[in-house]
Structure 1
Amino acid sequence: MKRIAVIGTGYVGLVSGTCFAEVGHSVVCCDIDIEKISSLKAGIIPIYESGLKELVDKNTKENRLFFSTDIPEAIRKADIIYIAVGTPMSENGEADLRHVKAVANIIGANLNGYKIIVNKSTVPVGTGKLVQSVIQQVSKGRHPFDVVSNPEFLREGTAIADTMNMERAVIGATSEKAATIIEELHKPFETTIVKTNLESAEMIKYAANAFLATKISFINDIANICERVGADVEQVAEGVGLDSRIGKKFLQAGIGFGGSCFPKDTMALLQIAKSVGYPFKMIEAVIETNQKQRAHIVQKLLHVFGDLQGKTISVLGLAFKPNTNDMRSSPALDVIPMLRNLGAQVKAYDPIAIPEAKRLLGDQVVYSEDLFETAKETDACLILTEWPQVQHMNIRKLKTCLNQPILVDGRNLFRLEDMKREGFIYHSIGRPEIQGEKILTKV
């Protein structure tokens, strides 16, 4: 059993700390946010993640998981210290490392013996060495320590399963001793271990996310071409994805990527490239395509109506993906203001993310947790998030709610044949349009 301190109780820190407790370690999750720690002690989880509350409750009850605002004490008592604070995107696209530096300073001031300091946050190449330098300077070399880069690869909505059954653990360390200890820490997860230096581990995280983002933007560009030539992007993606060198994952055309990772990490990687004088044109195009995809879905509504002034649009889905309340870089944050600027009224449905949406969008929207109530007496329906409730909704009932049977599907959830049979005017991404009883292909 190791004594682990996790500094930062956001998404990564809370999930990682809880899972380390689940496999038998003593874990204290720390934060400077007194209200958040008080809530966690009371069993109130600040994020929505399937299975997390049950695991937190279990390990708290069994005295393996603790929560504290006393970060210095947690550092002094720990064998291993995980840095899991936020690295938000700054105005120029770089990762903001102020919180990482602040934690490094606190660690340096409270170092009282050999420790392993692990960067779990997604950080630019060179951050491990920066953390090492800060701790060395503040601690004045009184005690030995090692720094490790151990990036996370969690998907929101399946983060517990992703941790307990992780595909790989990347460990970049300043010593073989530290690498071996962190490798032992991951043995209960029965995962593949990839040992590297600090810089390679940091780059792996960015490279992985940038590659996945590239696949998404690529298939969306292909989808936009399909619309112009009469092809069906889903058939194209199926044929392409059967190539074992390519694979079918992340080839679902739609409204583009969002969330806390892909937008931030592609921008950060672009800034890393710029900082070393490398023109990374491919990632520039990935970012540009993703942003344009938001406007593309709005153009489909304009294609139907010509003018959105005075129209009421029902939007299904506010979170950037299902099974989370996370709205960071959600398509809704771009699309809804576009609709409002074009003169449309907006009614929005989401089963979980409405409180967060109210904070970010305010009174631009009439909110509801009832899907059909949201669609009632609206001029068109727009799908932004593939919630199961949306995927499996009764489309006949939806049709009766709408003033006109107009559905613009940013996630390609429904079969063209079904929408034609039900008499919808149906627009999706990279597939033929349906206008009532006939299928049209139109530029």
Structure 2
Amino acid sequence: MKIAVIGTGYVGLVSGACFSGWGHDVVCMDKNAQKIASLERGVVPIYEPGLDELVERNFAAGRLRFTCDLADAVRGASVVFIAVGTPPRAGHGDADLSFVYMAARELASLIEDNAVIVIKSTVPVGTGDIVQKIIGSVRKAGSFSVASNPEFLREGVAIRDFLEPDRVVIGIEDDRARDVLTKLYGASLDLRRTPIVVTQRRTSELIKYAANAFLATKITFINELADLCEQVGSDVSHLALGVGLDKRIGTSFLNAGPGYGGSCFPKDTMALLRTAQDHGVALRIVEETVTANEARKRRMALKVVDALGGDVEDLTIAILGLTFKPDTDDMREAPSVPLIETLQRFGARIRAYDPAGIENARQVLSDVELHRDPYECARDADAVVVVTEWDDIRHLDLASLKAVMRQKILVDLRNAFEPGAAERTGFRVSGIGRPTVARHDVTTATPSSAALHVSAARKTDLAYFEMAGGSNDNS
């Protein structure tokens, strides 16, 4: 099948590369000539494990092309995906749909008869109706279809999510779109018995926002319970396991931390709230989720200040991990940013390390000494703060880390380290959702430690420590 993908951002590039991997003839189009030239040279502009190889392999096989020419991209295409950005409008919170509507206007006179236009960008309810009208002002009714096909890609594991999805959601208003899209996905996913949810276009548009709002709420719920655990002498990791093993709840997105970030959850929860307000509906739970998450990001700075005795003036703090989650270079809405800004206002000097996000961090942080080596970052620091649980950070040698520091304080905002091991190394440890009162060893305080622990293999089966690719965010 000939497929055109408009937009080579995160969603468009991953989708186009994966479709070509299924054997389809794919052309990815973008107006950014520099980006297209880089892609043709094999330089992928985003950090996503496995994407470089996937693009290179299918480009070499001739199944994947890149162009700035929209007419060239859609010529002969039976399916055209709109995968352009829908960033939040400054000061409004709702999605900026100008790129979607621009794409629709430009596509109207270029698409083939009977082409299916598929909106893969995350858009508010009713966007497909407007795209239908825009194209319908140029083309005869019935000569094209407009469908919705939201993406559910998590940064860091996006290729796996595309090729092995939990479900595929298709929103259609006519039989042609249903037949083409179920054929497109069904042929590749039948063996995996992946559910394909076919519904109305407006319902499909709402599903993406509802899913992300629910997951954001789940993260905020466990974060607030972590605060309670610290006060009553409980351990949030045991609490999350005990709650999450209930199949009605599930273990995913129950990792307590400094708050959610990224390109999806903050934007999508705000856009959903604006849609609800426009229709006179109150989404109180989502409203409180947004408010609590924003407050939490900055409140984490107070946790660092407390660990340093209540004053960080002229102290050096090393931040380990800057991106909003591991295995991405994405700094959008990263909890590290408000944390650092708040500590700087308190007078701290900040050094920071990240395996992939340094260049993007330069665009959003100021007066921060950036390092590409974690031990150099921690040299002469008064505290180390773990903000993103990269594997590189989880596997640091704690003795070597302690040896280069001035004060031996570890503030672990992701519970990346086992606290007993860190304390035996000589660190004073402050984690998330762990008791502030004297801690009791649960393995000796009960008749059988097996009752409170799940084997490492079983934890893997449960995906307890995987939780959305190792983080609490899916996009």
Check if 1:165 corresponds to 2:164.
yes
Instruction: Say whether residues 1:127 and 2:130 are aligned partners.
Output: no
SS at match of 2:154: coil
Q: Are the aligned partners of 1:318 and 1:332 in contact in 2 as well (CA < 8 Å)?
A: yes
Residue matched to 1:309? 313
1:72 CA drift (Å):
2.4
Q: Secondary structure at the match of 1:372?
A: helix
- Range moving further from structure 2, 396-405 or 211-220: 396-405
Pairwise CA RMSD of aligned residues? 1.4
Q: Is the 8 A contact 2:88 2:96 kept in 1?
A: yes
Counterpart in the other structure of 2:208: 205
Q: Does 1:96 align with 2:100?
A: no
**Partner residue in 2 for 1:293:** 296
Verify the 8 A CA contact 2:233 2:439 in the aligned structure 1.
no
Correspondence 1:130-169 to 2 at 5 A: 130-137=130-137, 139-141=138-140, 144-169=143-168
In 2, the alpha carbon distance for the partners of 1:422 and 1:316 equals: 18
| Number of equivalences | 434
CA contact under 8 A between 1:379 and 1:404: conserved in structure 2? yes
Aligned equivalent of 2:375: 372
Amino acid at match of 2:42: G
Aligned counterparts of 1:409 and 1:302: Cα–Cα separation in 2: 13
CA deviations over 1:204-250 (Å, ceiling 9, x no partner)? 11111111111000000111111121111111111111111111111
Amino acid at match of 2:325: K
Where does residue 318 of structure 1 map in the other structure?
Answer: 322
1:350-402 Cα shifts (integer Å, max 9, x gaps): 1111011112214x211111010100101111111000011111111111121
In the alignment, the residues of structure 2 paired with residue 373 and residue 70 of structure 1 have an alpha-carbon distance, to the nearest angstrom, of 47
1:246 paired with 2:249, answer yes
344, 349, 355: which one aligns with 2:348? 344
Corresponding position of 1:268: 271
- Asked whether the equivalents of residues 426 and 433 of structure 1 are also in contact (C-alpha less than 8 Å), the reply is no
The 2-side partners of 1:252 and 1:142 are apart by 49
Point out the more displaced range, 348-357 or 141-150: 141-150
Distance 2:202 2:363 in 1: 38
Among 270, 274, 282, the alignment partner of 1:279 is 282
Assess if the C-alpha contact under 8 Å between 2:78 and 2:112 holds in 1: no
CA distance in 2 between counterparts of 1:416 and 1:340 reads 27
Q: What are the within-5 Å matches in structure 2 for residues 167-206 of structure 1? A: 167-187=166-186, 188-190=188-190, 191-206=194-209
Per-residue CA deviation, residues 388-442 of structure 1 (Å, 9 max, x unaligned), is 01111111111112111101111011222223322321111110249xxx759xx
Distance in 2 of aligned mates of 1:245 and 1:317: 33
1:72 aligns with 2:76: no
> Is the Cα–Cα contact under 8 Å of residues 232 and 435 in structure 2 kept in the other structure?
no
Q: Name the structure 1 match of 2:473.
A: none
- Equivalent residues of 1:319, 1:325 under 8 A apart: yes
Report the Cα distance in structure 2 between the residues aligned to 1:333 and 1:390, rounded to whole angstroms. Answer: 18
Deviation at 1:289, TM superposition (A): 1.4
Per-residue CA deviations over 1:240-273 (Å, capped at 9, x if unaligned) read: 1111111111111011111111111111111111
| Equivalent residues of 2:301, 2:340 under 8 A apart | no
User: What is the rounded CA distance, in whole Å, between the counterparts of 1:324 and 1:277 in structure 2?
Assistant: 37
What is the rounded CA distance, in whole Å, between the counterparts of 1:16 and 1:209 in structure 2? 19
8 Å CA contact retained: 1:163, 1:189: no
**Equivalence for 1:38:** 37
- 1:22-61 matches, cutoff 5 A: 22-61=21-60
Is the deviation greater in 6-15 or in 387-396? 387-396
* Secondary structure of the corresponding residue to residue 217 of structure 1: helix
**Aligned partner letter, 1:30:** M
In 1, the alpha carbon distance for the partners of 2:22 and 2:363 equals 37
Match of 1:216 in 2: 219
CA contact (8 A) 1:378 1:403 kept: yes
Return the alpha-carbon distance in structure 1 between the equivalents of residues 300 and 258 of structure 2.
Answer: 7
The Cα of 1:142 is off from its aligned counterpart by: 7.3
Q: Deviations over 1:68-121 (max 9, x none)?
A: 000123223311100000000112110110000000000113234221000000
Q: Distance in 1 between matches of 2:159 and 2:38?
A: 20
What TM-score do the two structures reach when normalised by structure 2?
0.89
Which whole-Å CA distance do the structure 2 matches of 1:301 and 1:118 have between them?
Answer: 47
CA distance in 2 between partners of 1:238 and 1:61 (Å): 46
In the alignment, the residues of structure 1 paired with residue 112 and residue 28 of structure 2 have an alpha-carbon distance, to the nearest angstrom, of 19
| 1:355 counterpart = 2:359 | yes
In 2: Cα distance, 1:345 partner to 1:201 partner: 47
Deviation per CA, 1:173-222: give whole Å up to 9, x if none: 12122111101111213321100000110111111111111100000011
Q: Distance in 2 between matches of 1:206 and 1:213?
A: 10
* Counterpart secondary structure, 2:109: helix
Structure-1 residue corresponding to 2:467: none
Unaligned runs of 5+ in 1: none
1:428 paired residue among 427, 431, 439: 431
Secondary structure of 2:75's aligned partner: helix
Which segment is superposed worse, 333-342 or 245-254? 333-342
Kindly provide the amino acid, as one letter, of the partner of residue 323 in structure 1.
Answer: D
Q: Retained in 1: the 8 A contact 2:77–2:112?
A: no
With 372-381 and 294-303 compared, the bigger mean Cα shift is at: 294-303
- For the 8 Å contact 1:263–1:329, the answer to whether it is kept is yes
> What is the letter of the counterpart of residue 108 of structure 1?
A
On the 8 A contact 2:150/2:169 being kept in 1, the answer is yes
Say whether residues 1:401 and 2:436 are aligned partners.
no
- 2:471 corresponds in structure 1 to none
Q: What one-letter code is carried by the residue in structure 1 that aligns with 2:105?
A: N
- Percent identity between the aligned chains? 47
Deviations 1:1-49 (A, max 9, x none): x111100000000000011111111100000000000000010000011
Native 8 Å contact 1:384 1:409 kept in 2: yes
Which consecutive residues of structure 2, in runs of 5 or more, have no partner in the other structure?
A: 441-475
Provide the residue aligned with 2:106 in structure 1.
Answer: 106
